[in-house]
Amino acid sequence: MKLRKSINFLSFILLPITLNYFAPVLIVQSSLENTFTSMHIIYGVMFLIAIFFGGVWCSYICPFGALQELIPNTTRLKRKLPNLKWVTGSIFLILIFAPLIMYGFQKISIFYHMVDTKVSVSSFHDLVRYYIIVGFISLITIGLGKRTWCRYICPMYIFNYLGIKLRSLLKLPSFKIECKSEKCTQCKRCNKSCLMGLDVADMVKHNKWNTNECIECGECLNTCKNDVFKIKFKK
């Protein structure tokens, strides 16, 4: 999956330019001010991507995911952490949509907080904010393990989840990983390679794929020696 890693790395390199186009704090602030911005468009696109391509936003596009992959995985937690992303995601949705349901959009500012430059980091204040965000996610990853932010905290995940659930409800075709359990030898290489820390071998054994948490990164395909996994676009 060299293409995925290349796109992901590029998205992280561009983060000083793109941060304000999807920053969770800023979309909440703009919604509280009843202002339509580029962030509302981006999150809408994220939702649509989830409907037809599952979690590929997280594995291909999200710069915060790329940041976590750049950090060596030296931590091995013996037990799972509380899954806080349901709490953070629910609060996130309420803060975005409650003001809009009550008052709607009253003004438009596509380049919110970027009127003059169209670039996210254009001042010392922006630079400090950028390093606080990057440093915070880096420290969590170093201390608690790979993609801890994605697996347990990220509020943006809620858009993935809602897109996936709508797809299932409407029975729409989508990009997904399928497995052939009869070919699996339970070597568990796939478990070690999974970016989301899923028990892939167990999912294969019981032929029950966790579509809610899988981000379609394809790392299990790369490590499997028995051609167990296939990527398909189907219902």
In a 13 Å sphere around the CA of 224, the CA atoms on its Cβ side amount to 24
* CA-CA-CA-CA torsion sign (201, 83, 129, 108): positive
Q: What structural domains does the chain harbor?
A: 2-165 (no CATH), 173-234 (3.30.70.20)
What local confidence, expressed as pLDDT, does residue 78 receive?
Answer: 62
Give per-residue pLDDT as tens, 45-80: 999 999 999 999 999 999 999 999 888 876 666 667
What local confidence, expressed as pLDDT, does residue 76 receive?
Answer: 63
What local confidence, expressed as pLDDT, does residue 3 receive?
Answer: 86
Q: What is the spatial distance between Cα 160 and Cα 194, in angstroms, rounded to a whole number?
A: 18
Positions in the chain short of pLDDT 50: none
Q: What are the beta bridge partners of residue 178?
A: 230
H-assigned helices in 36-84: 38-53, 56, 63-70
